[in-house]
Amino acid sequence: GKEKWPRGEEKVWKEAMRDLDTDVSSITKSFVNHVQTSLARQPYNLDNLGAYQAAALSVRDNLLVNWNETSLQYTRKAPKRAYYLSLEFLMGRTLDNALLNLGLKDKYADGVEQLGFSMEDILDQERDAALGNGGLGRLAACYLDSSASQELPVWGYGLRYKYGIFQQLISPEGNQLEAPDPWLDNQNPWELPRLDVAYQVRFYGHADRLNDGTPRAVWAGGQEVLAVAYDVMIPGCYTKTTNNLRLWESKPKRGFDLNSFNAGNYEGAVESSNSAAAITSVLYPNDHTTFGKELRLKQQYFWTAASLADIIRRFKNIGKPITEFPDYVAIQLNDTHPTLAIPELMRILIDEEDQPWATAWQIVTNTFFYTNHTVLPEALEKWPVPLLEHLLPRHMQIIYDINLLFLQSVERKFPGDRDRLGRMSLIEEGFPKQVRMAFLASIGSRKVNGVAELHSDLVKTTILKDFVEFEGISKFGNVTNGITPRRWLDQCNPELSALISRTLKVDKAVWLKELTRLEQLLPFAEDAAFRAEWAAIKQRNKERLAHHVQVTLGLTINTNAMFDVQIKRLHEYKRQTLNILGVIHRYLTLKNMSAAEKKKVNPRVVFFAGKAAPAYYIAKLPSPPNHRQTIRLIVNVARVINADPDTKDLLSLYFLPDYSVSLAEVLIPASDISQHISTAGTEASGTSNMKFCLNGGLLLGTVDGANIEIAEEVGESNVFFFGHLTPAVEDLRYQHTYHPVPIEEKCPALAHVLNQVSAGLFGDADVYEPLLNTIRQGDHYLLSDDFDSYIAALAMVDEAYLDRTEWVKKSIRTTAKMGKFSSDRAIMEYAESYWNIEPLSVV
């Protein structure tokens, strides 16, 4: 029976359970209260860090009230819920975002000012939560914001890495150095340890089929590790809905192994406890690459097993039969990293719930949804069969069983087509055999999608072509990525946000959630006074960036120049090399100009930022040139160019170290033009392209990923496109291999640039040789094919910038037409067309 509630006097409870007061004096009271109690500090010597912590704890109180209320409603009403499984959540900072979503920023700013602090200084104390590598992890963070903002019952599940993405340092020679990111060192106020929410996760051991006429098996032995929940509050914008991001931490099942301890093996006992904790110790810093490391596979299973156990327990509380699981639960797989959830759910349904195979498979294939984020072959996950057999013996059996039944059904549809069976098998033949995770994710899911129109078409016609032919096209779709306009406009560009509200004559609470309203800015492109305000805000954002660089790096930046920005992970396919070679071309051209010619040139400042994969895992390979060399080249070109009195007023170059979400928030609003220049067909979507355009920066790019859809929205006259198109890429690569043309003939301008680098114009000539040779020979990413049109596009940018009035019009029109790229739109497409979930208001 249920206990009587409230236990004591109802009136007392109800009064105490009101929402917190949010007038300024209650805010200062709560702040000081946290200083004295939670932090146990003396108010008289409180520093900025302490003030940040007190402010965060005070804001958190508000979030927790909403978060509790939201959970209660979900439990009471038991709606269908969606779960977003992602190995990465690149959250960045939380305080500013929470204040804005709660609508409390002005009041807190007022309160802390009365106490002698500045809001800006306080916000700047927060460390980024950088539990991700790049676009894939940041997308997950935007999707959580949009889910909460639209009152959708969506939870995230991930890992609580002790160390996030490494901190990047750049040595004076231009080498990337990596330092650990101990982001949890100063207590994290945004998480709530849930030591009572814990599950046991097994590894290794043996799996024995019962062979009793059922498909059941018993998996026993091996190692058991504990998964403990840490909950992160995800506030919606102007709504009480506050969702949850549950991150798992690994712990040894007992503090240490008592048996070894008693046997006098203290070291062994401690080691076993270390190995359990190791699972969630560090985020793998490799983006778009896989290398069969056992610890990474352990992370993937640990996380999917704990998340599924938690989801199933919650489902069981509703009291419905297990066959109704897909009516209450949708699980989105963010890339193939959580694909083990498919055999894991099969295992639970068969071995623990005693379901027949067909029923279990029916449940599984109605529960999961799989998003693919790349078609680059080297990025498609494959796990060696021997490793899986060793670590997860029962799952390997289940994968074999899935494969057998699947191939039998393929054989029925395409009798005798053995090539097809080989192509479609979940097991790739070879030494060792490997499990193709994208295939397993596809056949185990209700729907499969790519992240932009072009990319989704490529998924359907290349890597999953056979699967489309077998299962029908309707299972394969597209959901074009989006970004949250809260962080990527209102928070990072408050002046522009305020101008938009004033101009549209509507509160930002409205247009931030209905972003297509920005279209109403279009007529103001013709209004000179509006254009002046627009341009002045861009200018102040450039000064804000320059100030940031001055304070952090001690460098003085020319804010009367065009700001040209490329910021993203370093990757061959993203072609930062093309950009730096273009910069060198510009430098050489300027060096040859007369004083009179130079007068007509508009000054330009080029910014790069981004991390390269650490060297350790390729260190032993016969050095394919890696992106670290590109960083080194950028830094050394910067050293030469920025010091050259002939050119430095017209061209300068900066590599900003340690790119992060919070650095992006300063860079993006300051950009006049940004570069998204991947070889056509290689960038699945890109999302920073959307952020720049939303902030009125123009786009220079290839006809790739979401660039295409951005151009469709803003109009081709407002973007600068160049380069070969996707259908030409394969032919060009074929030419490179079988009919190579020397680069001097094919692209003399590029050959000249390469020769200058080789000749030592920027020092270290031999260091760059392997990098330059990838262009001279093979040139897989087609720099030599696209260089001339790239240079032409850069010239068109220069030309367009000379007519500043026209440029500002383009900038306004670009922002005005970016409504489609709100992550609210994207997440609603998932909610309606995939997950079948609905908003639920929390009042």
Catalytic center residues: 373, 568-569, 574, 687, 691
Q: Tokens 């640990």 map to which residue?
A: 302
User: Of 355 and 576, which CB lies nearer to ligand GPU in the complex structure?
Assistant: 576
What is the nearest approach in angstroms of ligand GPU to the Cβ of residue 92? Answer: 15
Output the smallest distance, CB 219 to ligand GPU, in A. Answer: 30
Nearer to ligand GPU, 571 or 586 (CB): 571
Closest CB 706 distance from ligand GPU, rounded Å? 7
Sign of CA dihedral 580, 583, 587, 593: positive
Shortest separation between residue 472's beta carbon and ligand GPU, angstroms:
25
**Stretch touching ligand GPU by CB under 6 A, among 133-141, 387-395, 590-598, 664-672:** 133-141
x/- map, 458-487, ligand GPU, by CB under 6 A: -----------------------x------
Phi and psi angles of residue 218, each rounded to the nearest 5 degrees, phi first: -115, 125
Indicate whether 145 belongs to the interface with ligand GPU (CB under 6 A): no
Distance, CA of 820 to CA of 540 (rounded, Å): 27
Nearer to ligand GPU, 657 or 686 (CB): 686
d(CA 691, CA 668): 7
What's the closest the beta carbon of residue 687 comes to ligand GPU, in angstroms? Answer: 5
For ligand GPU, give the closer residue by CB, 236 or 686. 686
DSSP 94-107: -HHHHHHHHT-HHH
Using only the alpha carbons of the chain, give its radius of gyration.
28
Task: Please report how close the Cβ of residue 573 comes to ligand GPU at its closest, in angstroms.
Answer: 9
Question: Sign of the C-alpha dihedral, residues 283, 285, 288, 289?
Answer: negative
**335 lines the binding site for ligand GPU (CB under 6 A):** yes
- 139 makes contact with ligand GPU (CB under 6 A): yes
Instruction: State how far the alpha carbon of 713 is from the alpha carbons of 634, 690, 700, 709, 710, in Å.
Output: 33, 11, 15, 6, 5
Closer to ligand GPU by CB, 683 or 779: give it.
683
- Both tokens of 279, joined, read 């699972």
CB 684 within 8 A of CB 451: yes
Number of residues that bind ligand GPU (CB under 6 A): 19
- Which CB contacts under 8 angstroms, 24+ apart, belong to 629-632? 629/767, 629/768, 629/770, 629/771, 630/570, 630/576, 630/577, 630/580, 630/771, 631/170, 631/174, 631/175, 631/176, 631/570, 631/655, 632/173, 632/174, 632/175, 632/764, 632/767, 632/768
Residue 395 interacting with ligand GPU (CB under 6 A): no
**Are 132 and 60 a contacting pair, CB within 8 Å?**
no
DSSP 3-state helix, strand, coil percentages of the chain (rounded to 5)? 55, 15, 30
The Cα–Cα gap between 51 and 47 comes to 6
Rounded Cα–Cα distance for residues 453 and 685 (Å): 9
373 binds ligand GPU (CB under 6 A): yes
Q: Determine if 374 is a binding residue for ligand GPU (CB under 6 A).
A: yes
From 131-139, 211-219, 537-545, 746-754, span contacting ligand GPU (CB under 6 A): 131-139
Stretch that binds ligand GPU, among 69-77, 469-477, 681-689, 770-778 (CB under 6 A): 681-689
Asked whether position 391 contacts ligand GPU by CB under 6 A, the answer is no
681 binds ligand GPU (CB under 6 A): no
Round to whole Å and give the CA distance between 578 and 570: 12
Residues shown for the chain: 843
Q: Output the DSSP codes for 655-683.
A: E-SS--HHHHHHHGGG-SEEEE-PPTT--
Q: Which is nearer to ligand GPU, 227 or 380 (CB)?
A: 380
**Alpha-carbon span 383 to 300, nearest angstrom:** 12
Between CA 621 and CA 624 the distance in angstroms is 7
Q: Which residues pair with 179 in a beta bridge?
A: 167
| Per-residue mark of binding to ligand GPU, 255-294 (x: CB under 6 A) | --------------------------------xx------
Q: Does 135 bind ligand GPU (CB under 6 A)?
A: yes
CB 88, min distance to ligand GPU, A:
8
Report the alpha-carbon distance of residue 688 to residue 122 in Å, rounded. Answer: 27
Q: Which residue is nearest to ligand GPU (CB)?
A: 135
Residues 835 and 328: their CA atoms lie apart, in Å, by 10
Q: Nearest distance from residue 692's CB to ligand GPU, in Å?
A: 13
Report the nearest approach of ligand GPU to the CB of residue 824 (Å).
16
Q: Which residue of 496, 684, 693, 808 would you call a contact of ligand GPU, by CB under 6 A?
A: 684
Choices 11-19, 416-424, 613-621, 680-688; region in contact with ligand GPU by CB under 6 A: 680-688
Q: Which of residues 539-598 bind ligand GPU (CB under 6 A)?
A: none
* Residue 701 found at the interface with ligand GPU (CB under 6 A): no
Q: Which is nearer to ligand GPU, 81 or 373 (CB)?
A: 373
Considering the rule CB under 6 A, would residue 246 count as an interface residue with ligand GPU?
Answer: no
- By DSSP bridging, strand 167-170 and strand 176-179 are antiparallel
Spell out, one character per residue from 287 to 306, where the chain touches ligand GPU: x when CB under 6 A holds, - when not: xx------------------
Burial class of residue 149 (count of CB atoms within 10 Å of its CB; 0-12, 13-18, 19+): buried
What are 713-720's contacts with CB under 8 Å, separation 24+?
713/817, 713/818, 713/819, 713/820, 713/821, 714/813, 714/814, 714/817, 714/818, 715/813, 715/817, 717/810, 718/810, 718/813, 718/814, 720/673, 720/793, 720/796, 720/797, 720/800
Count of CB atoms situated within 10 Å of the CB of 195: 10
Interacting residue with ligand GPU among 174, 610, 686, 696 (CB under 6 A): 686
480-539 binders of ligand GPU (CB under 6 A): 481
Q: Does 152 bind ligand GPU (CB under 6 A)?
A: no
Of 24-32, 129-137, 255-263, 694-702, the segment contacting ligand GPU by CB under 6 A is 129-137
Q: Judged by CB under 6 A, which of 685, 784, 811, 822 binds ligand GPU?
A: 685
For residue 451, state whether it binds ligand GPU (rule: CB under 6 A).
Answer: yes
CB 578, min distance to ligand GPU, A: 17
> DSSP 3-state assignment of 21?
coil
Respond yes or no on whether the N-terminal peptide bond of residue 6 is cis (omega within 30° of 0): yes
Binding segment (CB under 6 A) for ligand GPU, from list 127-135, 493-501, 596-604, 804-812:
127-135
Contact range with ligand GPU by CB under 6 A, out of 134-142, 166-174, 549-557, 642-650: 134-142
Amino acid at position 11, single letter: K
Q: Which of 687, 702, 815, 822 binds ligand GPU (CB under 6 A)?
A: 687
Q: Which is nearer to ligand GPU, 613 or 673 (CB)?
A: 613
Looking at 130-138, 295-303, 496-504, 522-530, which segment touches ligand GPU (CB under 6 A)?
130-138
Question: Position 621: which residue type?
Answer: L
Tokens of 198: 């814990």
CB of 496 to ligand GPU, least distance (A): 23
Residues at the contact surface with ligand GPU, assessed by CB under 6 A: 133-136, 139, 287-288, 335, 373-374, 379, 451, 481, 683-687, 705
